[in-house]
Structure 1
Amino acid sequence: MTAQCVSLAHGRLTQEYGNFTTLWIGHYPIVILSGFQTVKEGLINHSEELNDRPMTHFILHAFKRKGIGFANGHGWKQQRRFGIVTMRNLGLGKKGMEHQIEEEAHRLVEAFFQAKGQPLDPSVLIGNAISSLISVVSFGYRFTHEDETFQKLMETIDTLARFGVSIPHAMYTFFPGIMKYLPGLHQKALSGMQMGLAFAKEEIEKHKEHQGLYDPQDFIDYYLLQMEKSKGDPNTTFSEDNLAQCILELFIAGTETTSSTLQWGLLLMVANPDIQERVYKEMEEVLGSFNSISYQDRKKLPYTNAVIHEVQRAKYILPVGIPRRCSKDLNMLGFHIPRKTLVVTDLNSVLLDPKHWETPKEFNPNHFLDKEGNFITREDFLPFGAGARVCLGEQMARMELFLFFTHLLRAFRFQLPEGVKELNKDPVVGLSMHPHPYKLCAIPRSSL
């Protein structure tokens, strides 16, 4: 069943049966958790029991229990622990990665400036900037956006995103014996996976040629070093196959989500020019016209920080959370959930919970401000998930969103193209809830 189907069905079930519901697909139950308290109980208080991913026929065929996102047990724990430590070593939250993001933000501003105030579609420019950063993290360098290999990799990610919420995916889940012999989008997705993995392995071979000549610079360097350390360990899961899978997952998980959120951010600024102007004025008053912007500046810019958080809340980019599977029998809120049961957490319902948000269906930055205008951190703000499977790239995504958003709004005033009265604020429901295609005009500020 696709994410849209679960999301649509869950809305009706929740209204009738509450925040803890079960949806039956044939003989298979899917438990759906909705609302902040119920989701918190599942993801945080029962994190250990809900740390597995379901293994559909396609996931087994495509991911082969490798990587981080769709692995379970000892392999998942070992790979994830390594991923967390390595992301920290690469400087996430420190000056190292922040410098790379700032450089890419400047390139993005220049790309917008090339349009000279004429209507432009921001999606490609933003997507290229995000994927370039993941390239730096993975390989230690950025591709030019015209690079043929880079373009093929982006096409692969787009194909996998479309396939993840398609009818062929559901058909493959229920009829794998037939589908693997039939043509269709599932074959294109599998072919794309193989192309992406082959590309990653080429990069691994290049790194192996220079291994030991310098300190680790990127994800591949650190992983190869870990493989050396783990030689002779019978319990190790560190291998080139696992490394290639991890790299592909970094691109899949990190590109679409952050790109869609930034696209929503610009759309909402066009739709709310008063909020856009207030963000710009706060930056000018606090930082002046010529000072650079750092990630630490979010503490001095409470309104701007609140706007970015509200974009994430009001336009959360996933229909539902990525499904979990009970790793053991679970008793939760008076209900018994058997081992191997599929569990879906509706994070949208958390971010739109009327019991926790004053105006949940409105774009309102005041959700993250106290009466004195200070920024407030909220425990019911869970766009990156929670518990053992919380997003591995959360810190990187937070830095990207803040630095890209502030650089763009400081450099340009965004407005509707001539003759366009409004933009469509409803999402296109897919693997992510991205905006309908739109164009805007980026008018350079006088201080540029």
Structure 2
Amino acid sequence: MGILALSSILTALILCFLMAQFVRLQIRRKRFPPGPTPLPYIGNFWQLKFFRLSRELLTEEAKTYGNIFTLWFGTVPAVILVGFQAVKDGLTTRPEDMVGRPQTPYFKALANNKGIFLTTAKTWKNQRRVSLMILRTLGLGKRSFEYQVQEEACNLVEAFRNTKGKPMNPSYAITLAVANVICSVVFGHRFSNDDKTFHGLLEAMECLFTFFGCFMHHFYELFPWLLNHIPGRHQKALSSRDFVHSFIRREIKKHLDSDVPDEPQDFIDFYLAQIDRTKSQPSPPYDEKNMVHCIFDLFLGGTETSSTTLHWALLYMVLYPDVQAKVQKEIDTVLAPGQMIYYEDRKNLPYTNAVIHEIQRFSNIVAVGVPKCCVRDTTIREFFIEKGTIIFPILASALYDSSEWERPLNFNPSHFLDKDGNFTCRDAFIPFSLGHRTCVGDHLARTELFLFFSSLLQAFTFHLAEGSKDITVEAVWGGTLQPHYFEICATPR
């Protein structure tokens, strides 16, 4: 048999095999909600647009396939929920069915089912429960906890004041202030803004966030066995993970080496006490590895999101100076110049509160969000969903849902005001998600956003630096949607 004939036979066999796999896949996909046609092994990635999942793209796909549809990431199906009602139905109808987290190759590399954010089953339940208990014991939601946020708000105001009205990019100063709130809670102390190791921590966290959702992240999920042996952006992300872990372990060691306080003072103190109380159990649920990852998750979820939202807030204030002036007028009416602002004051500052909520809605900093996983067979509306199916509730699509907001594509604080000018919050405002896996630090984030934003607007008037041009509200893609670089001037009031 000639080489040409052998080649033809092999080609025919390969084509027959691929055709059989294609037919098998089409039969399998009938068990899931409708969606664009996948191909064997590569799923919907044969259409390059699916390498970057944006709210706009998924909303457009929903017009064809409905608000609940399926995309295939390689051989793995994922059910996409678009729009407030679909997200709400998916996360709250049977919330106990949606508490899992898929253990993808990258999630395993980051957490290996340790901590809170990327864990599932008993690990998630135990770590979330103890973390919430510790935060509440430390005073989350109480005035004592609020003082730590106020201290950092004052430090941020001072950092802006030191610029003496000269052009600056506010991003780093904001990130330092927000991160120091977490540091005070977790480590029991803040870091100097000049601390190079602290700067390294923030840079590592930024690297992890910018990697999530990029092309190389998707490639890693498909071929981890290959990428683990070659250099690239994924290796830098994993190196950043190691840096953050080392930073946290050094802080834990400082606590272990020092005298144990009569009363626990911070998250590490309380967690160490929890380890000590449960160490005699056959399989103790609390250990240093889980503590490291819980702290990692508090930084991951508590620093980037709040600082990015505040970064957008200042951009919107210079782009909408009439809104800025109205916020300042309300603050001046309610509070004396320089008076300390408390979270409770939001009840007397309805317009300011509405602006902060509209900033969260309009910036929609989480484009797609972290996927969930069904822990048992369930249903979403008329669709049967198998145990283990990945679910993507697109929170940003709820924040931009035209059936829930009058002008979703416009920055409009009136979305959160009634006809009498009183603050009102709509059900579709879900930046912290819904169901049993809502953000652990949502109350801290709300407190930070209100106190930081109000303190800055009370102290300064912001405007674009002279010569600024091509300012856009289009986002830079990453784990969170960041504004493009811009410079502003903070003029003391």
Please name the residue that 1:32 is paired with: 80
Please name the residue that 1:118 is paired with: 166
Please name the residue that 1:301 is paired with: 349
3-state DSSP of counterpart to 2:95:
coil
Please name the residue that 1:407 is paired with: 455
The more displaced of 26-35 and 381-390 is 26-35
Please name the residue that 2:142 is paired with: 94
3-state DSSP of counterpart to 2:303:
helix
Supply the RMSD in Å over aligned alpha carbons.
Answer: 1.5
Q: Which amino acid aligns with 2:418?
A: D
Distance, in Å, in 2 between the alignment partners of 1:397 and 1:92 is 11
Q: Which amino acid aligns with 1:108?
A: L
Question: What's the CA shift string for 1:180-212, capped at 9, x where partnerless?
Answer: 111112222222212211221121121123353
Aligned-pair CA distance for 1:236: 2.7
Q: Any residues of structure 2 matched to 1:189-208 within 5 Å, and which? A: 189-208=237-256
Question: What's the CA shift string for 1:147-189, capped at 9, x where partnerless?
Answer: 1221221121111112212222222211121111111122222
Please name the residue that 1:337 is paired with: 385
Please name the residue that 1:177 is paired with: 225
Q: Which amino acid aligns with 1:246?
A: C
Kept after mapping to 2: 8 A contact 1:4/1:429: no
Aligned-pair CA distance for 1:371: 0.9
Please name the residue that 1:251 is paired with: 299
After TM superposition, the score normalised by the length of structure 1 is: 0.96
Aligned-pair CA distance for 1:36: 1.1
Distance, in Å, in 2 between the alignment partners of 1:363 and 1:146 is 36
Please name the residue that 2:333 is paired with: 285
Of residues 195, 217, 230 in structure 2, which corresponds to 1:147?
Answer: 195
Question: What's the CA shift string for 1:360-402, capped at 9, x where partnerless?
Answer: 1111111111111111122211011111110011011001000
Of residues 310, 317, 326 in structure 2, which corresponds to 1:262?
Answer: 310
Of residues 428, 432, 444 in structure 2, which corresponds to 1:384?
Answer: 432
| Count of residue correspondences | 445
Of residues 163, 167, 175 in structure 2, which corresponds to 1:127?
Answer: 175
Of residues 60, 67, 71 in structure 1, which corresponds to 2:119?
Answer: 71
Please name the residue that 1:223 is paired with: 271
Kept after mapping to 1: 8 A contact 2:338/2:458: no
Distance, in Å, in 2 between the alignment partners of 1:279 and 1:129 is 22
Aligned-pair CA distance for 1:8: 5.6
Distance, in Å, in 2 between the alignment partners of 1:9 and 1:289 is 46
Q: Which amino acid aligns with 1:331?
A: T
Kept after mapping to 2: 8 A contact 1:57/1:176: yes
Q: Which amino acid aligns with 1:334?
A: E
Distance, in Å, in 1 between the alignment partners of 2:72 and 2:194 is 47
Question: What's the CA shift string for 1:406-436, capped at 9, x where partnerless?
Answer: 0100111111222335621111121101111
Aligned-pair CA distance for 1:298: 0.3
Q: Which amino acid aligns with 2:154?
A: H
Kept after mapping to 2: 8 A contact 1:270/1:276: yes
Q: 1:9 to 1:24 in 2, by over 3 A?
A: farther
Kept after mapping to 1: 8 A contact 2:312/2:483: yes
Kept after mapping to 1: 8 A contact 2:59/2:82: no
Please name the residue that 2:371 is paired with: 323
Please name the residue that 2:209 is paired with: 161
Please name the residue that 1:355 is paired with: 403
Please name the residue that 2:442 is paired with: 394
The more displaced of 62-71 and 18-27 is 18-27
Aligned-pair CA distance for 1:290: 3.8
**Greater RCO (Cα-Cα under 8 Å, separation 6 or more):** 1
3-state DSSP of counterpart to 1:48:
helix
Distance, in Å, in 1 between the alignment partners of 2:151 and 2:182 is 13
Kept after mapping to 2: 8 A contact 1:3/1:319: no
Kept after mapping to 1: 8 A contact 2:211/2:478: no
Q: 1:407 to 1:38 in 2, by over 3 A?
A: same
Q: 1:192 to 1:420 in 2, by over 3 A?
A: closer
Kept after mapping to 2: 8 A contact 1:303/1:375: yes
Distance, in Å, in 2 between the alignment partners of 1:144 and 1:342 is 42
Distance, in Å, in 1 between the alignment partners of 2:265 and 2:162 is 32
Please name the residue that 1:18 is paired with: 66
Aligned-pair CA distance for 1:57: 1.2
The more displaced of 8-17 and 269-278 is 8-17
3-state DSSP of counterpart to 1:360:
coil
Distance, in Å, in 2 between the alignment partners of 1:245 and 1:393 is 15
Aligned-pair CA distance for 1:3: 7.7
3-state DSSP of counterpart to 1:160:
helix
Of residues 358, 368, 375 in structure 1, which corresponds to 2:423?
Answer: 375
Runs of 5+ unmatched residues, structure 2: 1-44
Aligned-pair CA distance for 1:9: 4.3
Distance, in Å, in 1 between the alignment partners of 2:242 and 2:184 is 22
Aligned-pair CA distance for 1:349: 1.0
Q: 1:52 to 1:347 in 2, by over 3 A?
A: same
Q: Any residues of structure 2 matched to 1:34-53 within 5 Å, and which? A: 34-53=82-101
Distance, in Å, in 2 between the alignment partners of 1:5 and 1:291 is 45
Aligned-pair CA distance for 1:321: 2.1
Aligned-pair CA distance for 1:316: 1.1
3-state DSSP of counterpart to 2:78:
strand
Kept after mapping to 1: 8 A contact 2:74/2:222: no
Distance, in Å, in 1 between the alignment partners of 2:69 and 2:383 is 10
Q: Which amino acid aligns with 2:486?
A: Y
Kept after mapping to 2: 8 A contact 1:211/1:221: no
Q: Does 1:186 align with 2:205?
A: no
Kept after mapping to 2: 8 A contact 1:321/1:385: no
Q: Which amino acid aligns with 1:349?
A: S
Q: 1:211 to 1:340 in 2, by over 3 A?
A: farther
3-state DSSP of counterpart to 1:381:
coil
After TM superposition, the score normalised by the length of structure 2 is: 0.88
3-state DSSP of counterpart to 1:388:
helix
Q: Which amino acid aligns with 2:110?
A: A
3-state DSSP of counterpart to 1:49:
helix
Distance, in Å, in 2 between the alignment partners of 1:129 and 1:135 is 10
Kept after mapping to 2: 8 A contact 1:3/1:431: no
Kept after mapping to 1: 8 A contact 2:59/2:397: no
